[in-house]
Structure 1
C-alpha cells in the first residue's frame, strides 16, 4: 500500500471512532436534558400544589393530556413520580427521533469501521499474495526486479526478499559458471588425450607392417583403453555441463535389456558368458532408450568381467511408484570395503578387471539419476554381485 492508502485508512478509522463517539455523546446529552426537564417540571408542580392544593386535578389533567399517563397518587414532594410519570414521558416527541439518530450514528460508525478494516485486510492480502507469487517465480527462475509500491509495513520484508533472491541468483550463476568451467576443462583433457591416441594408432599401423606382433598387442590394449577413457570423459563432461539432452520416450523394460545384451554379444561370446532375460509381461518405462541401454550395458559388462563364462541374470517388476530392474551374476560378489565407493568416478576395486578405467558404474549412475532413477549394489545371497535399479514414475 502506498502512503496515500495509509492516509485513507487512518482517516477511515478516525471517522468511524468519531461517529460512534458522537452518537454515544448525543444519547447521553439527550437523556440528561430529559432529566433536567423532568426535575424542573416536578419542582414547578410541587410549588403550585403547595400554594393551591385544589389545582391538583387541573395539573394532573394537563399532564395526562400531554403525556397520555395516569395519575395514581397525591404526594406533594415528588408529584410527577407519584402520579406515575417518567422522564421519557416528557420527551415523548423527541424520544424515538433521538434513539433513531443515535442508532443511525452508531450503525454508520460501525459500517465505516468495518469497511475500513476490510479494505485494509484486502490490501494486505494482495500484498502478501504478490510477494508469494514473486517467490514462486524466483523458484522457477523467472523472477524479475520487484517494482516499488510505496512505503508500508511490508516494505522491509520486500527489500529483504529481493536481496535474498538476488544473492541466490548470483550464487547460482557462480555455481553454473564453475560447473561449465569444470566441464570445459574435462572436455579439453579428453581432446588432449585424443592426440596421443592418434599418434599411437599411426605407430601401430607402422609396426603392423613390420610384423612386431608382441608390441602391437600391447599398444592395441593401451590404445583401446585410451579410446574408452576419451569417450567416457566426453560423456561425463556433457553430463556435468547439462549439454547431454535425454530424449525420453515410453519403452518396454524387456526391450531395453535385450538390446543391451545384443550390443555386448561379441564380448559375451568371447568370454563364454550368457544372459538370462525372462519375459515377465509388458512393463513400460519413460526413458532415453540409447543412454539407458548404455547404463545397463555397463552393469552387464561389470557382471561379465567378475564372472566370465557364467550367467548374467535379469529380473524386473513394477508397482505404482517405480519400476525395479535387477541384474546379478554368479561370481564372488563385491568386497565389503569396495561397496561404499563402487559408483565413484575412476574408482577401481581390489578385484577390478585389468584394463578397466573405473568410469562405467559412475556413468550408469549419472544416466539413471538424470531420469529420476536410483541404483545400488548388493551381494545377492547364494549368488554374486547384484545391481538394483529403480526408475520412479513421478
Structure 2
C-alpha cells in the first residue's frame, strides 16, 4: 500500500518555511553582530587603557613644566585613585622604576605581582598580550606599557593591566542585541503571516471555485480588485476559462440534438420521398423528380458524415498532408475559381488584390482550397449579396491572406468560440444547416501545413479572417 502524502495549507506551508528562513537568518546576524560587538568593545577598552597610561605619564611629568625628580621622590602616589577607575573596566595601574620595582599602583598589588611586573619590562612601549600565573592559575591579560622620561632619559614605566575576560565582557550589549533580534523575529513573523495569508486567500478562493466548476456549477464570485498582477491574472484567467467551459458544456449539450437533427432531416426526407414513389403516390416524371430530390438529400447527408470523419481524422493527425512549393497568387486564384464554379448564382462578387511580385509558399493545394472555399461560403451566408475582398500581403517569412466580407458580422460574445468544434452562432444555428465544423476544421488544416487561421475583426460592417502561409525555403 502506498502511503498518502499529508497535505497542509498554503498558509501553514509558506509561513513555516519563511519563519525557518527568518530564524536562520536572524541567528546568523546575531552571531555576526555578537562577534562584532565583542571585537569593537575589546578594541575600545584597549584604547581606554592606552588613554589611561598616557594620562598617567602626563600627570607624572608635571604639566607645570617642572620635570619629575628621581623616582624615589615621586610624590606620595598617583593621586586620587578613584579618578582612574572606569565604569566598564577597572584595570590595575603600576608605576615602576627601570628595575621593575613597583613605586605605586592604583590599588594594592596582589602577592607575587612584583615578579610578574618585572618580567614585563622589555624596553618597548605598546600593547601586549601576556599570560599571568597567580596562585597556580593562569589568566590571559593585556598590558599597555608607556615610558617615563626625565631629560630624555627613561626613569620608569607606567603599566596598565586588565584581564581579557573583563575587556570582552558585554552582557548589557548582548541583552540589547537579544531584545532587538527578538523584536525583529516577532515583526518578521507578523509580516510573513500577513503576506502569506493575503497570498493564500485568493488562491483558496480559486480552488473552491474550481471545485464548483468540477461539480458543474459555473456561477461563482471571485474578487478582481487584487493589486498583485499575478493574482489578478490568475483570477481573471480562471473566470474566463470557467466561462468558456460553461459555453463548451452548453455546446456539448446541444451537440447530440444538433447532430441528430441535422442527420435526421435528410434521412426523413429521403424516407418520405422514396416511400411516396414506392406507394405509387407519384408516378412518371414526378417520381423521377422525387428520386432526384432524395439523391440531393443523400449528398447532403454524405457531406455531413464526411465532415465528421474528416474532422476526427485531422484531430488525431491521421490525414497526411502534401506540402509543396507553389505560387501563392496562382494558388488563391485557382481556389476562388473552383468555388465560383460551384455557385448557382452571382449574388457575391470576389475582388482580389494579389502580390506584385511572384512569391512561393509551402502549402497543400487541396487543403488550402478547402479553407478558402469554407471562408467564401461563410461570407456568402453572412451577406445578402455583396463583395468579398481577398488581399495578399507579404511579410518577412510568411504571406498573409485576408478574406473580408460586408456581412452582418459575428456577435462579440461569440467570437471567442467560433473555432470550437460543433459551435454554431445564434444567427447561423437556425438559418443554415450544418454541424459547426467548418472553421475548426479549416484551422486544423491551416496548422497542419505550418500556417494558421484566425479572426482579425468582426463587427456590424463585416468580418475579416486571416490565413497565414509560410514562405517556401530557398536552397
Greater percentage in helix = 1
TM-score (norm 2): 0.41
TM-score (norm 1): 0.48
Greater percentage in strand = 2
